[in-house]
């Protein structure tokens, strides 16, 4: 692993375990101990009890702690001191509470969280318990992102998302009871079979929960997911493009009216003068800051060098869950962009933000006469980009076709 830990402003931890793979998800995850589909087998959903034979959670926790310690050793000075920490998955809340305690204890012991202002954990509503939330809050977690996705049973079924609509509220309550009040909810729209009226109902139910942050995603058919396979054989039908566009427009309209700031293509924060509810961790991605990702499948970035840990738990454990790790850890997809390409990448990421990109940066990196400068002028002329006093940014029209716009600037 490259020795970039010192400068990492953000730390990402990938916790790969799930009790079931949702059919649209292409994040790296493993299902060692399948849980029952809520509402089908048991009347009351509980955290499924793992069967010892296939339980890799303890080994994983040891391995992650080992990887963390290695990162600390590699970092000069006091060690890793990220400003933001984000635990994603997988289903981080599917990691058993006792193992979470070990992980959090290790973070504290090393002083990792000394300068951390935002520590987010992703949660599946079905796996959120009052007990776990208290332990997380105690360990420094101050933000929870709950994958609500939809409140309609039909939509959740279409996604093969195994949670009951009503468990979202109990998850929110459990977080608040534990003192975690900075809560983000995820919503998916353009789900097969979904109508605008169903979306409106989802938005009503979301807003009732009074989150501080929202992420709204148009359903993406990722390659090599069961959902895409079903699409290919005609077992699901995509929402047509006009409807999808109308849905995105409805989301924009409703959330703005509800007092949320749209600060990135898919992200919303409750409006405050200090912008405190914007996700600082994700902003690090979009502003090309340096971050370190730990756990199988986790991506990292350091000054234009991108790589990821191999998305393979077996290899991950083989390397890190040994007393003296030998050889290089399994990483892959190393990429070092030429300066010219980094400019394109920065434009791609920066234009996703509603603020856009500062003129100063553009003047310094996109000289007049460069093809990108001509493309920017043309995109401004046809109303896809606009110049504010300080920034270049997407217009509302440009927002809907951001990929087409950005492709012209790469």
Based on CB atoms, which residue is closest to other proteins, 271 or 349? Answer: 349
Decide if residue 92 touches other proteins (CB under 8 A): no
Q: Which stretch binds other proteins (CB under 8 A): 41-49, 89-97, 296-304, 317-325?
A: 296-304
Q: 57-74 and 313-320 helices cross at what angle (nearest 10)? A: 60
Decide if residue 308 touches other proteins (CB under 8 A): yes
CA angle 338, 395, 364 (to 5 degrees): 35
Decide if residue 305 touches other proteins (CB under 8 A): no
Per the CB < 8 A criterion, the answer to whether 157 and 165 are in contact is no
Characterize the bridge pairing of strands 385-387 and 391-394.
antiparallel
Decide if residue 266 touches other proteins (CB under 8 A): yes
Q: Which stretch binds other proteins (CB under 8 A): 93-101, 201-209, 226-234, 342-350?
A: 342-350
Q: Quick check: helix, strand or coil at residue 78?
A: coil
Per the CB < 8 A criterion, the answer to whether 262 and 402 are in contact is no
In whole angstroms, how close is the CB of 56 to other proteins at the nearest point? 21
Based on CB atoms, which residue is closest to other proteins, 10 or 61? Answer: 10
Number of residues that bind other proteins (CB under 8 A): 48
Based on CB atoms, which residue is closest to other proteins, 62 or 346? Answer: 346
Per the CB < 8 A criterion, the answer to whether 375 and 401 are in contact is no
Per the CB < 8 A criterion, the answer to whether 24 and 220 are in contact is yes
**Length in residues, the chain:** 410
Omega before residue 296 within 30° of 0, cis: no
Beta-bridge partner residues of 14:
88
Q: Which two tokens stand for residue 319?
A: 């390397």
In whole angstroms, how close is the CB of 300 to other proteins at the nearest point? 8
Decide if residue 116 touches other proteins (CB under 8 A): no
Based on CB atoms, which residue is closest to other proteins, 23 or 37? Answer: 23
Decide if residue 194 touches other proteins (CB under 8 A): no
Omega before residue 90 within 30° of 0, cis: yes
Decide if residue 301 touches other proteins (CB under 8 A): yes
Alpha helices, DSSP H, located in 299-401: 313-320, 339-350, 359-365, 371-381, 396-400
Report how far residue 6's alpha carbon sits from residue 20's, in angstroms, rounded to the nearest whole number.
36
In whole angstroms, how close is the CB of 52 to other proteins at the nearest point? 32
What residues from 349 to 408 belong to the interface with other proteins (CB under 8 A)?
Answer: 349, 352, 378-379, 382, 384, 399-408
Q: Which stretch binds other proteins (CB under 8 A): 110-118, 159-167, 171-179, 293-301?
A: 293-301
In whole angstroms, how close is the CB of 18 to other proteins at the nearest point? 17
Based on CB atoms, which residue is closest to other proteins, 44 or 403? Answer: 403
Q: Which stretch binds other proteins (CB under 8 A): 33-41, 60-68, 71-79, 347-355?
A: 347-355
Decide if residue 13 touches other proteins (CB under 8 A): no
């Amino acid at each position: 692993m490259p020795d970039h830990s010192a400068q990492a402003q953000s730390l990402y931890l990938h916790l790969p375990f799930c009790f079931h793979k949702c059919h649209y998800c292409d994040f790296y995850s493993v299902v060692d101990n399948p849980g029952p589909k809520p509402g089908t087998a048991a009347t009351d959903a509980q955290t499924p009890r793992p069967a010892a034979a296939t339980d890799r959670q303890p080994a994983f926790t040891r391995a992650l702690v080992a990887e963390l310690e290695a990162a600390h050793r590699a970092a000069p000075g006091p060690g890793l001191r990220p400003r933001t920490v984000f635990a994603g998955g997988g289903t981080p809340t599917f990691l058993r509470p006792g193992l979470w305690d070990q992980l959090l204890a290790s973070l504290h012991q090393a002083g990792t969280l000394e300068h951390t202002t935002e520590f987010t954990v992703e949660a599946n509503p079905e796996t959120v318990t009052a007990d776990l939330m208290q332990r997380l809050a105690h360990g420094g977690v101050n933000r929870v992102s709950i994958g609500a996705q939809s409140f309609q049973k039909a939509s959740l079924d279409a996604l093969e998302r195994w949670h009951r609509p009503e468990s979202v509220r109990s998850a929110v309550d459990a977080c608040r009871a534990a003192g975690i009040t900075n809560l983000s909810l995820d919503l998916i729209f353009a789900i097969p079979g979904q109508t605008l009226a169903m979306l409106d109902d989802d938005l009503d139910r979301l807003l009732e929960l009074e989150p501080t942050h929202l992420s709204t995603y148009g359903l993406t058919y990722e390659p090599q997911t069961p959902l895409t396979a079903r699409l290919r054989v005609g077992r699901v039908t995509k929402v047509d493009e006009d409807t999808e566009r109308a849905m995105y427009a409805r989301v924009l309209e409703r959330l703005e009216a509800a007092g949320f700031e749209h600060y990135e293509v898919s992200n919303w924060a409750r409006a405050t003068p200090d912008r405190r509810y914007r996700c600082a961790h994700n902003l690090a991605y979009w502003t090309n800051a340096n971050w370190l990702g730990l756990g199988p499948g986790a991506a990292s970035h350091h000054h234009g060098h991108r790589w990821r840990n191999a998305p393979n738990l077996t290899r991950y454990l083989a390397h890190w869950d040994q007393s003296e790790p030998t050889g290089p850890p399994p990483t892959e997809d190393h990429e070092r962009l030429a300066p010219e390409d980094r400019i394109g990448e920065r434009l791609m990421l920066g234009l996703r933000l509603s603020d856009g990109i500062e003129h100063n940066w553009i003047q310094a990196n996109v000289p007049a006469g460069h093809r990108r400068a001509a493309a920017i002028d043309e995109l401004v002329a046809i109303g896809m980009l606009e110049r504010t006093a300080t920034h270049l940014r997407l217009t509302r029209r440009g927002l809907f076709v951001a990929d087409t716009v950005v492709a012209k600037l790469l």
